[in-house]
Structure 1
Amino acid sequence: MYAGLRDVKRFTIAATDGDIGISKDFLFDDRAWTVRYMYVDTHKWLPLGEKVLISPVSLHSIDIKDEKIHVTLSKEQVEDSPSIDEHKTVSRDYEALYFQYFGYGYYWTGPGAWGEFAYPTALAQVQTLPERAELEKVDTGSQANHLRSINELQGYEVKAKDGNFGQVHDLILDTENWEIPLIVIDTHQILPGGKKVLVAPKHINSINWLEKNVGCHLSVDAIKHCPEYDPERLNDSVYQQKVRQQLLAL
């Protein structure tokens, strides 16, 4: 199922023994275009509640109608999880600690977006974690994990190869594998009425976090012919096929 992250951002997170918070942001890998964590505000539900990270590895189901994300964790597991407040950034060392706490397999030790697996939930079934020495071999000296806030990315200027053409409005989440197959661009700068169009991550060649812009290798004219974003038809198979065909032609 596809869902706009602007909408999912307000969903309630439900543990196995009750609600635990509301998703406030998402951290995504800006190389794999995959959401790695939900940033969850727990202060209304947990004693001394604070913001915590919850990985899609723990996902049970997403209820779009009721606006809830069900996870396979208890309130106690979330409350006792490694505190993000102790770390200025979500480093690879923090991720290793986090995954060890829950007993998950590491997503960064294989060739795909989720390591050896196609879906994040498969990592919950991994029984043996790599030794620290093996982990260091995989990272080849760099602990950078390229995690970025989706809240930060929304609103960034989008630069075509021959001029600016809009801003990042939203990112579309595939709730099966937590990858981002589509990016919603608000083209009000060049198209009457502020039409929103869809591009794919393959069309993005850079993200400049200092200058707050996104580089795209398409021309302004090509952007005008990108499929128009229709949130009401996002999960319509005919609409999805049309979008895929149009994007493949670019």
Structure 2
Amino acid sequence: MIETKVISFWRNTMYAGLRDIKRFTIAATDGDIGVSKDFLFDDRAWTIRYMYADTHRWLPLGDKVLISPISLSRFDIENEKIEVNLTKQMVKDSPSVDDHLTVSREYEELYYRYFGYGYYWTGPGAWGEYAHPTALSQITPARSAEELSRSALVEGVESNHLRSIDELQGYTIKARDGEFGQIHDLILDTNNWEIPLIIVDTHQLLPGGKKVLIAPKHIKEINWLEQKVVCTLSEDEIKHCPEFDHALLGDRIYQEQMKAKLLAL
């Protein structure tokens, strides 16, 4: 079992667009690993489970590797860096994954056992029994195995719902009474790695094609085969959705105003 140092992690909410984060450097405790290239999100919990790190500058023949937010130690938006509580050797020796294949539950179990993390799928919340992913770095594998065994009696844990953000961006949004735009980006809450807001390009519906915000609660279904997202809102309701302002994304008042407006829809 690999030992990891328990870290403290602030709980101040910060929002960031995933398109912006894709260029961020991922830094281990002893040097840079690479840059984030894509994200795998849970399409039921609307939570980012993994970052794909492109490590070719560090490992010339290396493939992309998965980094879990459980290992996060610092998220530095100003300097465009994500610091993780891992060494470069730990990342190099971690279970390999072919990024052209779906990350299976079997692979996740192997990955979590390697790092000694508790399983996120053994509780009712987005991170099991916890509100924040970093809490799972403090759960022993033995306890996790027991939780996994118990949860298997309740639901099939052999399946997951992980999808690429790159795949989702650009999907058509279908309202109750017509199509109105495309998924432009998703907003990440860097505190709990959940997705509270979705940016939609409304060029098909509104003059000038302004970008508006909707919430995951407004998504009824994602049709991955047809590359469409079915929304519960009408075209008229979408016209009244809050407009996205990238410059105000980090402003707490703006965040609260957006949440309040979307709760009313």
Give yes or no for the alignment of 1:218 onto 2:222: no
- Corresponding residue number in structure 1 for 2:6: none
Counterparts of 1:179-190 in structure 2 under 5 Å?
Answer: 179-190=194-205
Counterparts of 1:51-62 in structure 2 under 5 Å?
Answer: 51-62=64-75
Call closer, same or farther: CA 1:83–1:226 in 2, change over 3 Å: same
Contact 1:46 1:75 in 2 (8 A): no
- Corresponding residue number in structure 2 for 1:114: 127
How many corresponding residue pairs? Answer: 250
- Corresponding residue number in structure 2 for 1:12: 25
Question: Match of 2:98, SS?
Answer: helix
Question: Match of 1:100, SS?
Answer: helix
Question: Match of 1:129, SS?
Answer: helix
Q: Which amino acid aligns with 1:177?
A: N
Contact 2:105 2:157 in 1 (8 A): no
Q: Distance in 1 between matches of 2:161 and 2:230?
A: 17
Q: How far is the alpha carbon of 1:222 from its aligned partner?
A: 0.1
Question: Match of 1:85, SS?
Answer: coil
Q: Distance in 2 between matches of 1:63 and 1:167?
A: 29
Q: How far is the alpha carbon of 1:236 from its aligned partner?
A: 1.1
Q: How far is the alpha carbon of 1:129 from its aligned partner?
A: 3.3
Q: How far is the alpha carbon of 1:134 from its aligned partner?
A: 5.2
Runs of 4+ displaced beyond 6 Å? none
- Corresponding residue number in structure 2 for 1:145: 160
Call closer, same or farther: CA 1:149–1:159 in 2, change over 3 Å: same
Give 5+ residue unaligned stretches, structure 2.
1-13
Q: Distance in 2 between matches of 1:15 and 1:132?
A: 27
Q: Which amino acid aligns with 2:95?
A: P
Counterparts of 1:1-250 in structure 2 under 5 Å?
Answer: 1-46=14-59, 48-85=61-98, 88-130=101-143, 135-139=148-152, 140-141=155-156, 143-250=158-265
Q: How far is the alpha carbon of 1:164 from its aligned partner?
A: 0.3
Q: How far is the alpha carbon of 1:212 from its aligned partner?
A: 0.1
TM-score (normalised: structure 2): 0.91
Q: Distance in 2 between matches of 1:87 and 1:248?
A: 37
Deviations 1:65-87 (A, max 9, x none): 11110000000000000000299
Q: Distance in 2 between matches of 1:134 and 1:123?
A: 13
Seq. identity, %: 70
Q: Distance in 2 between matches of 1:35 and 1:51?
A: 17
Aligned residues: CA RMSD? 1.5
Question: Match of 1:84, SS?
Answer: coil
Call closer, same or farther: CA 1:86–1:64 in 2, change over 3 Å: closer
Call closer, same or farther: CA 1:197–1:105 in 2, change over 3 Å: same
Call closer, same or farther: CA 1:86–1:231 in 2, change over 3 Å: closer
Give 5+ residue unaligned stretches, structure 1.
none
